[in-house]
A and B are shown apart, each in its own frame.
Chain A
Amino acid sequence: MNASRPPHGNFINYLLALVAIFSLNFILPRMMPGDPLHAIYGDEALVAMTPQMEAYLTEKFALNQPWSSQFTAYASGLLQGDLGYSYYYKDQVSTVIMGALPWTLLLAGLALIIATILGTALGIESGYRRGRPLDRGLIASLMFLSGFPDFFVGILLLLIFGVCLGVAPLSGATTPYSGATGLAYALDVAHHLILPLSALVLVQLGGIYLLTRNTMVSVLKERFIMTARAKGCSDSRIRYEHAGRNSLLPVVTATGMRLPQIITGALFIEIVFSYPGVGSLLSSSLDARDYPLIQGILLLVTVAVLTANLGVDLLYRRLDPRVRYAH
């Protein structure tokens, strides 16, 4: 990356990416096979549907018009914050998404934070003890874990803790109709969250851990570590302040790139656990070919990833002076 660009140059790049993705977001769902009207109402409903009604709906979604008109409708709606109307949920797309988003934010956000912190910490400790039992054990077990697809880990956890041991709920984000409030409600949420969260963290952990560990191993060979030792720095100071901080840099970059993975991971996990987040929403909207909803969700995910990457860029500037002051 050419770091000599002023920050606004970066913003322009992000803007370009956003425009490109808006366009793709519009085109892709319309290339899917099948007729959305048929998908919404199903074959039985179609039999009952009058031609007038069908015409009305087609008119409403502009499905009979050329793509250019569809795009104009899409773009002008976007500018007003209107993501369209979900003809499956029969509500504004934004409202539907907002109902699911907090759960996903909770699940994916927590997973990202926990996996990053835990992975980095384990990576630093493991890299510092290269070749010793802790290091070898961690490498073997985390490599093993990260080899599984996330939904498989989810199913496994569900079977062990939910079905066999019965210590965790099988699905959902809360106990329906419990009426719990306050602390009881929070505990209930946590109880439902623990399995999907663990599944997501376990799968994400490996990559972050391995990256941190390997960076740590190579940073420890750098000359400034010797300089720090010769100054009389303590082990922990060398481990965290000198080697650890330097090992963090690639992890930050990787976290930005990992975000889409977390989101797709969350999608599968949400389906496995019937968790009422954006993932489940996307899945059902795909089933129903609910174009406006699909578009809305994909757009949201894209904006989220781009924003996160921008955040990583800004964070990197703070962490690494070589990028901040590069000349």
Chain B
Amino acid sequence: MLEIKDLVVSFNRSPVLNGIDLSISPGDSLAIIGESGAGKSTLGLSIIGLVEGEVKGRIQLGQRDLLTLSEDEMRSLRGKEIGMVFQNVEDALNPLQEISDQVTEAMTVHGFKADASNRSLRLLEAVGLDRETADKFPHQMSGGEKQRALIAMALANDPQVLILDEPTASLDALTKSDILDLLRSAVAGKMALVITHDIATAAKLCNKIAVLYAGKVVETGRTEDLLSSPRHPYTRGLIRSYPNMTTTKDLQGIPGRMAHGVAGCPFHRRCTQKIEICTQQEPKLLPQKGRMIACHRGGIVPLLELDGVNISFEARRVLSDVSLTLYEGETLAVVGESGSGKTTLARAVIGLYQPDSGGITLEEKAVTKRDLDFYKTVQMIYQNPKESLSHRMNVFSLVKEPLDVQRLGSAEEKALRVKRALGEVELPADDDFLGRYPHQLSGGEAQRVAIARAMVLEPKLLIADEPTSALDASVQAKILRLLMDLQEKRGLSILFITHDLALARKVSDRLAVLHRGKIVEEGPTSAVISYPRHEYTRVLLEHASNLGDDRNSGWSDENVLQIDRRDAILSA
């Protein structure tokens, strides 16, 4: 059992790791993920006793506290009980020694001299390097081969603790996959710590993940849980910005930059759901629903909850028993054909319809009345922007109107906020544009004005009811990109109502399929798209926009066509 307790590592008195608590049991493989500079490598090096800064706390391996051991005792542990695989960078191997000699050395320095060179050859063979390669020098080997040699070296004395520092960085996809297979068998039964910024490596190699941010662990949990439903805003940001074949939403980053030594929660400057306490007090890593999370708000907060909402128009049930949760900074797409009740759902949330039964909760408070405060938090944009803008008002008064209603600020402040809002939606804020009337705007401009009007109050939730279906595709792409940017910057939650599944796939984190007023399927967008469970979802998928001739064989048909054409040209 490897236990790290309250580990603090500082360089020149500024802490790089600040109170780390982690434990790894035999058979466990723990990934440490996070951006560069989070302190990942420092953590690995402090376990093996090679960190140069000042180290405080406790690192307990069995009965021993590694931090109290002398340099000599520590040296005898290194490579024998604690093995470390470094990233295959330029010079991770001694350029003047043959590979087999370097592996042999790993044994001989611990006194295992007998048969060491034969054993080193066997080890190299086990990691996939033949006799010929074993006699090579590092400069004669490929990146993958060098990485294998580094692994063999770390495994030489069959250590109980294995630390892998970016073991797959700078490898191409196929080599990476081979190395991952090798590493998976290498870490089996050991206590493994995998330091990586590559989430896919963490997913393949580890059963647990700890997310490190500015020297603090902000979330830990089992790999599948943590990756499928991240609870800390930083974890979600990391996953959103990681290109992979699983998620379908466009990449989004995390606003701002990481800084060490921030008062309060280390993440608060980049967090979109911070409250006052976040800037003052450091959150503790506390257990929550099978995870450990360090967040004053208990992780990403549910912004909007619908619980068993029913709405009927006369005898017709339009929504029946609709329950949904929309989290802060997330896009929930509600997809369904016309008449499925999508728009009714949107209007029920904004307060245009009253549910017959069921509750709507906003920021963990039941919504009983729609007052000014409610509309400061929730705003809506509509399908047809020109109709949603009063044709008697110019751009300036249109965007300013919500401020007037809310009685926010003086005239100058209002003008400033209007200009800022227009800037955010990438519209000009000159007098000419401010004086225009809706009929003088293009469709895309009008929808931007509508978004600016919604955003001028800086709401938490934006309900977008088919916001782009009246626009052509290139304008639509820009408007959606704009919404995603606002989400990245502000943590805006979006309830996205659409009939277009292909569109929903690119913009939403989660997807709810509405059919005849009922939610028939709900889950992470990628899961719903890849493994639809409900028959209706499958039908929707089959009819979603597709650029190939046929959904399954469009590509190969295209090939056949080209080959035919080529044959025709050749025979002519």
A residues at B contact (CB < 8 Å):
222-224, 226-234, 237, 242, 245-246, 319-322, 325, 327
Contacts and interface: CB of A to CB of B under 8 A. Distances in A.
A233 B109 contact: yes
B92 A320 contact: no
Interface string B67-97: 0000000011111100110100111111110
B91 A325 contact: no
A127 B140 CA distance: 29
B50 to A, nearest CB: 5
Contact of B105 (A222, A223, A231, A325): A231
Contacts of A234: 75, 109
B50 A229 contact: yes
Nearest to B137: A321
A265 to B, nearest CB: 31
Contacts of A228: 94, 105
B153 A237 contact: no
Nearest to A322: B139
B511 interface: no
29 contacts: A223-B91, A223-B92, A224-B91, A226-B50, A226-B92, A227-B86, A227-B92, A227-B93, A227-B150, A228-B94, A229-B78, A230-B48, A230-B78, A230-B79, A230-B154, A231-B78, A231-B79, A231-B156, A232-B79, A232-B106, A232-B109, A232-B110, A233-B75, A233-B79, A233-B109, A234-B109, A321-B98, A322-B137, A322-B139
Nearest to A222: B91
Interface in B162-186: none
A226 B89 CA distance: 12
A228 B137 CA distance: 16
Contact of A230 (B86, B91, B137): B86
Nearest to A249: B96
A14 B482 CA distance: 69
Interface centre among A229, A234, A320 (most CB of B within 10 A): A229
Given A223-B86, A325-B137, A230 B50 contact: yes
Interface in B345-394: none
A224 B92 contact: yes
A223 B106 CA distance: 16
Interface centre among A223, A231, A322 (most CB of B within 10 A): A231
A319 B156 CA distance: 27
Contacts of B50: 226, 229-230
Contacts of A226: 50, 86, 92
Contact of A242 (B75, B78, B94, B110): B94
Interface centre among A245, A246, A321, A327 (most CB of B within 10 A): A321
B186 to A, nearest CB: 15
Interface in B110-162: 110, 137, 139-140, 150, 153-154, 156
B92 to A, nearest CB: 5
Nearest to A243: B94
Nearest to B87: A223
Contacts of A245: 96
A223 B90 contact: yes
A114 to B, nearest CB: 25
A327 B137 CA distance: 12
A321 B96 contact: yes
A246 B96 contact: yes
B105 A321 contact: no
A246 B156 CA distance: 24
Nearest to B150: A227
A232 B76 contact: yes
Nearest to A319: B96
B139 A321 contact: yes
Contacts of A325: 137, 139-140
Contacts of A222: 91
* Interface of A (DSSP majority class): helix
Contacts of B110: 232
B479 to A, nearest CB: 48
B77 A232 contact: yes
Given A231-B105, A231-B106, 16 more contacts: A223-B91, A223-B92, A227-B92, A227-B153, A228-B94, A230-B79, A231-B78, A232-B75, A232-B106, A232-B109, A246-B95, A246-B96, A321-B96, A321-B137, A325-B137, A327-B140
Nearest to B157: A232
A118 to B, nearest CB: 23
Given A227-B153, A232-B77, A322 B106 contact: no
Interface centre among A222, A232, A242, A325 (most CB of B within 10 A): A232
B49 to A, nearest CB: 9
B109 A231 contact: yes
Contacts of A327: 140
B90 A230 contact: no
Contacts of A223: 86, 89-92
A236 B139 CA distance: 25
A325 B90 CA distance: 18
B265 to A, nearest CB: 33
A229 B76 CA distance: 11
Contacts of A320: 95-96
A319 B83 CA distance: 29
Contacts of B91: 222-224
A246 B77 contact: no
Contact of A237 (B96, B109, B137, B150): B109
Contacts of B77: 232
Contacts of B95: 224, 246, 320-322
A319 B92 CA distance: 19
Contacts of B94: 224, 227-228, 242, 246
B87 to A, nearest CB: 8
B52 to A, nearest CB: 11
A186 to B, nearest CB: 39
Contacts of B93: 224, 227
A237 B50 CA distance: 16
Interface centre among B75, B80, B86, B91 (most CB of A within 10 A): B91
Given A322-B137, A322-B139, A325-B140, A232 B92 contact: no
Interface centre among A228, A230, A233 (most CB of B within 10 A): A230
Contacts of B86: 223, 226-227, 230
Contacts of B137: 321-322, 325
A231 B110 CA distance: 9
Given A223-B91, A246-B96, A320-B96, A231 B153 contact: yes
Contacts of B78: 229-232
A9 to B, nearest CB: 21
B415 to A, nearest CB: 57
A232 B77 CA distance: 7
A116 B109 CA distance: 29
Contacts of B84: 230
A311 B44 CA distance: 45
Contacts of B89: 223
A216 B267 CA distance: 41
A224 B101 CA distance: 14
Nearest to B86: A227
Interface string B230-248: 0000000000000000000
Contacts of B109: 231-234, 237
Nearest to A221: B91
A306 B550 CA distance: 75
A223 B139 CA distance: 14
B164 to A, nearest CB: 12
Nearest to B44: A230
A320 B95 CA distance: 8
Contacts of B105: 228, 231, 233
Contacts of A230: 48, 50, 78-79, 83-84, 86, 154
A230 to B, nearest CB: 4
A223 B86 CA distance: 9
A230 B150 CA distance: 11
